[in-house]
Chain A
Amino acid sequence: MSTAVAPGIRVQLTRFAIGWIGAVVLLGCWQLATARSDSAFFPTPLEIVADIHERWFSAGIGGGVLTDAFFQDVTPSLQRLALGLLVAWAVGISLGVVLGRVRTVAEYLEPLLHFMRALPGPVLLPLALVLVGTGTSMRVSLIAFGAVWPILFNTYSAVRQVPECFIDNAKVARVSRPALLFRVILPAASTGIFAGLRVSTSLGIILLIASELVAATDGIGFGLTQSQRSFQFVAMWSFIVALSLLGYVANLILSGVETRILRWHRLMAAIQD
């Protein structure tokens, strides 16, 4: 019963191919439709790809492939996103564990947290501008504030649902408190925590762009508004594509890690179906 759990390599390849065929067909239609139109707002995908290459990847092998514009447009956004998400995850997971394990803390904090969660992140932009200024820290704290909620509440609920018998077994084995946390509670809650990580990442990207729309001098969000205001529509599309690629790659990385860490869970679910 332990065999034949994962689909065969051939099935996986077929699925992969089908997914890409869909994308290619769609791109083809887009190309055809935009090539016929002479609207300046809709460049063809090939033009966009050429622009992306020219803009960010044309420095040549000797120049390290990436252009200076890449470090101006993309790198700052990546840094802000990574930093903001790290803060959100660290705070969200730690606070979620505390809430899930200490009833009294949860009773005191829960109403307040739900109230704060109800605030849409971008609303705090003006406040953040006043409080933390226009630098990187403003954008990082905005991302962190907005992205902390899904990870916090997912961790909280996952930790609260860790079966008491797991804890009892660990206690009878006289494990230390850190071991109880890292070897029992966090693994037992890991599926819920990962769901939170995914949601918080997509929220983080939204907030990243929102934060770069004001008082910024670089980043994807800045480049996007800048090119739109100066009627460079091909460039605008390049930034849009860059954004979706950012989201796609972030998700790819997360699911890669998740596949490794939660392998047991996937196999177990497959058996119990």
Chain B
Amino acid sequence: MSPALLEVTDLRHSYQTRQGEHTVLDGLTFSVERGEFVSIVGPSGCGKTTLLRSLSGLLRPSGGTVALGGTVIDGVPQGLAMVFQDYRGSLFPWRRVGENVEFPLLGSVPKSERRRRTEESLEAVGLAAAADRYPWQLSGGMQQRVAIARALAMRPELLLMDEPFASVDAQTRSDLEDLLLRVREQFDMTILFVTHDVDESVYLSTRVLSLSKAPTVQTADVTVPLAFPRDQITTREEGAFVTTRSEVARLIRQAGPGGLAA
């Protein structure tokens, strides 16, 4: 059997504060298979950002291992892209939209291929016409689509997303969710999606992991029994959607005081 795409084993992280050692992650173990869409939900302050920074190689965890495609990572691995919550800090304001999308390919991909991928990625997020504008000339939702296009241009096997839709309005958010499901299909990616929104996690995913408050451990692993393609109205009406959502919400509430209400 080939190894899982992402294998997290006994991941621990703590850092020193004036009050002593503060443990954020306390032995997380899970894996993500190719083709899955896994959401991670948890109450605020559950170390989701620390987790994603460890998975992307930006942060060296205090203990445990992260393996991508069977290889334990040490630094930022190949085949991985990440979309951050703050799109303003993700896109470079001095580069035009197309130049931002092209950025990760500079120096590694020949020019004609760069141009092709940039166009294709912008096309996929419906922003082909905005290539020559600057990111700050676009709305928040459009900027986040540019950030997604940049991730697509990298052709990642695994796409990490850190609460990517948390700072846009509700309508834009639904649009972005559906857009994400479409490009996942089109580009055949595995996605690990961190959110604090239970509805969103169930609507998007094939599997939901829930985390406890820090020191964080995994509290549940729920498979979402819903078919694709999903629909903002009909999927959310299905009985399976409602029961799964309640199950996840209950698990989060049990995970600690101050968790999200269902």
Q: Name A's B-contacting residues (CB within 8 A).
A: 1-2, 163, 165-166, 168-176, 179, 183-184, 187-188, 190, 264-265, 267-268, 271-272
- A171-B76 contact in complex given A183-B106, A268-B134, C-beta closer than 8 Å: yes
- Chain B residues near A264: list those with CB within 8 A: 93-94, 134
Known: A173-B103, A188-B92. 10 other contacts (CB 8 A): A2-B134, A165-B84, A172-B76, A172-B81, A172-B82, A174-B104, A174-B108, A184-B92, A187-B92, A265-B93
Tell me the nearest residue of chain B to A179, going by C-beta.
B107
- Chain B residues near A2: list those with CB within 8 A: 133-134, 137
In the A-B complex, list the 4 residue pairs whose CB atoms are closest, starting with the nearest. A165-B89, A173-B104, A172-B82, A264-B94
B154 in contact (CB, < 8 A): yes
- A166-B89 contact in complex given A173-B104, A174-B78, A187-B94, C-beta closer than 8 Å: yes
Task: For B154, give its contact among A173, A187, A190 (CB under 8 Å).
Answer: A173
Q: Is the CB of A172 within 8 A of B58?
A: yes
B90 in contact (CB, < 8 A): yes
Distance (whole angstroms) from the CB of A178 to the closest CB of chain B: 9
B241 in contact (CB, < 8 A): no
| Residue of A171, A174, A184, A188 most packed against chain B (CB within 10 A) | A174
Q: Is the CB of B134 within 8 A of A175?
A: no
Tell me the nearest residue of chain A to B59, going by C-beta.
A168
B56 in contact (CB, < 8 A): yes
Task: For A169, give its contact among B80, B90, B107 (CB under 8 Å).
Answer: B90
Main secondary structure of the interface of A (DSSP, over half): helix
- Chain B residues near A169: list those with CB within 8 A: 82, 84, 89-90, 92
Q: Is the CB of B94 within 8 A of A172?
A: no
- Chain A residues near B10: list those with CB within 8 A: none
- Cross-chain pair count, CB within 8 angstroms: 62
Distance (whole angstroms) from the CB of B229 to the closest CB of chain A: 29
Distance (whole angstroms) from the CB of B79 to the closest CB of chain A: 10
Give residues 4-63 of B contacting A (CB, 8 Å).
Answer: 56, 58
Q: Give CA–CA (A170, B81) in the complex, Å.
A: 11
Q: Give CA–CA (A170, B150) in the complex, Å.
A: 11
Distance (whole angstroms) from the CB of A14 to the closest CB of chain B: 27
- A165-B86 contact in complex given A264-B93, A268-B134, C-beta closer than 8 Å: yes
Task: For A190, give its contact among B82, B94, B137 (CB under 8 Å).
Answer: B94
Tell me the nearest residue of chain B to A262, going by C-beta.
B94
Q: Give CA–CA (A188, B58) in the complex, Å.
A: 20
Q: Give CA–CA (A169, B103) in the complex, Å.
A: 10
Q: Give CA–CA (A265, B136) in the complex, Å.
A: 10
**B127-156 vs A, Cβ < 8 Å mask (1 yes, 0 no):** 000000110110000000000000000100
- Chain A residues near B103: list those with CB within 8 A: 170, 173, 175, 183
- Chain B residues near A165: list those with CB within 8 A: 84, 86, 89-90
- Chain A residues near B58: list those with CB within 8 A: 168, 171-172
Q: Give CA–CA (A64, B43) in the complex, Å.
A: 78
Tell me the nearest residue of chain B to A173, going by C-beta.
B104
Q: Is the CB of A268 within 8 A of B107?
A: no
Q: Give CA–CA (A266, B84) in the complex, Å.
A: 26
Distance (whole angstroms) from the CB of A85 to the closest CB of chain B: 24
Q: Give CA–CA (A173, B84) in the complex, Å.
A: 13
Tell me the nearest residue of chain B to A1, going by C-beta.
B137
- Chain A residues near B84: list those with CB within 8 A: 165, 168-169
Distance (whole angstroms) from the CB of B170 to the closest CB of chain A: 23
